[in-house]
């Protein structure tokens, strides 16, 4: 049985400029010990999906329109605030995308880290301090004892991000949601952090959702990949299949835009033409249609459902929300 299952999650924001569905009918399952890579355009709802699962959407302006998030047979969306708090940062924890707003500027690093252990593990100050220093050392922060006494603004951007990571890993979570965990890190420290996450996964069977724009990191870490566009999942599949033969035109455009260490620097980098979608004013039919090179008349009227495609080389299922791509590519042999 899946460790966590999300069903038909739909989140709306009511703003002065209209109501937007930031997450629209997202369903997926997360298995024990697996890493799920979540990629997609900026503003496509990756963070909101995961914040909603953690009960962290500000309401208002947010509204959870519908959906279930099942963990251990319980729907997290229906838990009392206190029950949720007991899980958060403990069994289920999240590395937030914005370290500066998630760390309290008025408290030292040590105070903030210790609090987690005092609350969830009932540790005393000395014991907690020792653990916290170890945790900072694990994320590659030198002289951790002195760093515990410092305030967030005294740390570099990447160090603050690593403090967030250390905090999320303190209680050995069973589910780890990592939202852009390594954007502020150089590649050698990034490698060390990713190893740390893999270690935890091996030790505890932790399931990881890894949200990132870095497709190299996705390639190295994920078992499966989910692609989001305009609040919806548009393609899901095993990492190798999806990278080898992206089916959805957005996924293909995304993979085509990655700068590589051997690409031709005299050429412009490729990017997906057109503007990102305005969630308050989505076109009827497929949200990607205005930017799509293979769209047909039907794409302008009918919203494509997420359907299975037969992928002969793979055991893991592959879904894509684009009938045109299935017709176009013989590799997928039509619908199952």
Ligand X SMILES: Nc1ncnc2c1ncn2[C@@H]1O[C@H](COP(=O)(O)OP(=O)(O)OP(=O)(O)O)[C@@H](O)[C@H]1O
Binding residues for another protein, rule: CB under 8 A, are: 13, 15, 17, 39-44, 47, 97-101, 140-143, 145-146, 149-150, 154-159, 161-162, 180, 183-191, 213-220, 239-240, 243, 253-255, 257-261, 263, 265, 268-272, 275-276, 278
* Contact pattern from residue 108 through residue 147 relative to ligand X, giving x for each residue in contact according to CB under 6 A and a dash for the rest: ----------------------------------------
Q: Give the pair of three-digit tokens for residue 318.
A: 């592959």
Residues 181 to 210 in contact with ligand X, rule: CB under 6 A: 184
Nearest approach, Cβ of residue 79 and another protein (Å): 26
- 58 lines the binding site for ligand X (CB under 6 A): yes
Which listed residue (35, 47, 93, 112) binds ligand X by CB under 6 A? 47
Nearest approach, Cβ of residue 228 and ligand X (Å): 6
Report whether 279 contacts 20 (CB < 8 A): yes
- Give me the DSSP letters along 289-310: GGG-SS--GGGGTSPPP-EEE-
Give which of ligand X, another protein, Mg ion, none residue 297 binds (C-beta under 5 to 8 Å, depending on kind).
Answer: none
- 299 lines the binding site for ligand X (CB under 6 A): no
- Give me the DSSP letters along 87-100: HBTTTEEEE-S-HH
Give which of ligand X, another protein, Mg ion, none residue 295 binds (C-beta under 5 to 8 Å, depending on kind).
Answer: none
Which listed residue (157, 274, 333, 334) binds ligand X by CB under 6 A? 157
Q: What 3-state DSSP class applies to 237?
A: strand
Q: Give the pair of three-digit tokens for residue 185.
A: 């890190």
Q: What 3-state DSSP class applies to 151?
A: coil
Of 200, 165, 1, the closest CA to residue 95 belongs to 165
Piece of the chain touching ligand X by CB under 6 A; list 36-44, 64-72, 118-126, 169-177? 36-44
Using CA atoms in the order 116, 157, 38, 260, what is the torsion angle rounded to 10 degrees?
-150
Residue 71 or 229: the one with the smaller Cβ distance to another protein is: 229
Residue 12 or 318: the one with the smaller Cβ distance to ligand X is: 12
Residue 72 or 313: the one with the smaller Cβ distance to another protein is: 313
Q: Give the pair of three-digit tokens for residue 212.
A: 């990132």
* Structure-token match 């990629």, residue found: 39
Nearest approach, Cβ of residue 19 and ligand X (Å): 10
Q: What does DSSP assign to residue 335? A: B
* Contact pattern from residue 93 through residue 112 relative to ligand X, giving x for each residue in contact according to CB under 6 A and a dash for the rest: ----x---------------
Nearest approach, Cβ of residue 33 and another protein (Å): 17
Residue 43 or 173: the one with the smaller Cβ distance to Mg ion is: 43
Q: Give the pair of three-digit tokens for residue 75.
A: 């729907």
Report whether 310 contacts 247 (CB < 8 A): no
Residue 161 or 289: the one with the smaller Cβ distance to another protein is: 161
For the sheet with 224-229, list strands across it: 92-95, 175-179, 207-211, 35-40, 224-229, 232-238, 318-320, 307-309
Report whether 11 contacts 21 (CB < 8 A): yes
The dihedral region occupied by 141, where left means phi > 0, alpha psi between -120 and 50, and beta the remainder, is beta
Q: Which residues of 280-292 are buried (b: 16+ CB within 10 A; e: fewer)?
A: eebbebbbbbbbb
- 48 lines the binding site for ligand X (CB under 6 A): yes
Piece of the chain touching ligand X by CB under 6 A; list 69-77, 101-109, 156-164, 307-315? 156-164
Nearest approach, Cβ of residue 41 and ligand X (Å): 7
* Contacting positions for ligand X (CB under 6 A): 13, 15, 22, 40, 42-48, 58, 61, 97, 153-159, 184, 279
């Amino acid at each position: 049985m899946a460790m966590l299952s999300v069903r038909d999650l739909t989140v709306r924001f009511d703003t002065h400029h209209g109501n937007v569905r930031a997450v629209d009918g997202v369903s997926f399952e997360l298995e024990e010990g697996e890493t799920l890579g979540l990629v997609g355009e900026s503003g496509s709802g990756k963070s909101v999906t995961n914040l909603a699962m953690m009960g962290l959407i500000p309401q208002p302006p947010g509204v959870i329109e519908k959906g279930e998030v099942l963990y251990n047979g319980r729907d997290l969306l229906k838990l009392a605030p206190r029950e949720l708090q007991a899980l958060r940062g403990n069994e289920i924890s999240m590395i937030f995308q914005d370290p500066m707003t998630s760390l309290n500027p008025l408290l030292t690093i040590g105070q903030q880290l210790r609090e987690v252990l005092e609350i969830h593990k009932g540790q005393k100050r000395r014991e907690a301090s020792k653990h916290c220093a170890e945790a900072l050392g694990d994320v590659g922060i030198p002289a951790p004892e002195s760093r515990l006494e410092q305030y967030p603004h005294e740390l570099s951007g990447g160090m603050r991000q690593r403090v967030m990571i250390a905090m999320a890993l303190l209680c050995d979570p069973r589910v780890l949601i990592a939202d852009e965990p390594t954007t502020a890190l150089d590649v050698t420290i990034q490698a060390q952090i990713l190893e740390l996450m893999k270690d935890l996964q091996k030790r505890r069977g932790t399931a990881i959702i890894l949200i990132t724009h870095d497709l190299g990191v996705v390639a190295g870490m994920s078992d499966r990949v989910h692609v989001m566009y305009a609040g919806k999942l548009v393609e899901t599949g095993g990492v190798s299949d999806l990278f080898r033969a992206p089916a959805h035109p957005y996924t293909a455009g995304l993979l085509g835009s990655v700068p590589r260490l051997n690409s031709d620097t005299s050429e412009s980098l490729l990017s997906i033409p057109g503007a990102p979608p305005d969630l308050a004013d989505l076109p009827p039919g497929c949200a990607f249609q205005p930017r799509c090179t293979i769209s047909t008349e039907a794409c302008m009227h009918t919203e494509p459902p997420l359907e299975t495609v037969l992928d002969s080389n793979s055991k893991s299922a592959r879904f894509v929300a684009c009938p045109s791509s299935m017709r176009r590519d013989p590799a997928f042999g039509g619908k199952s």
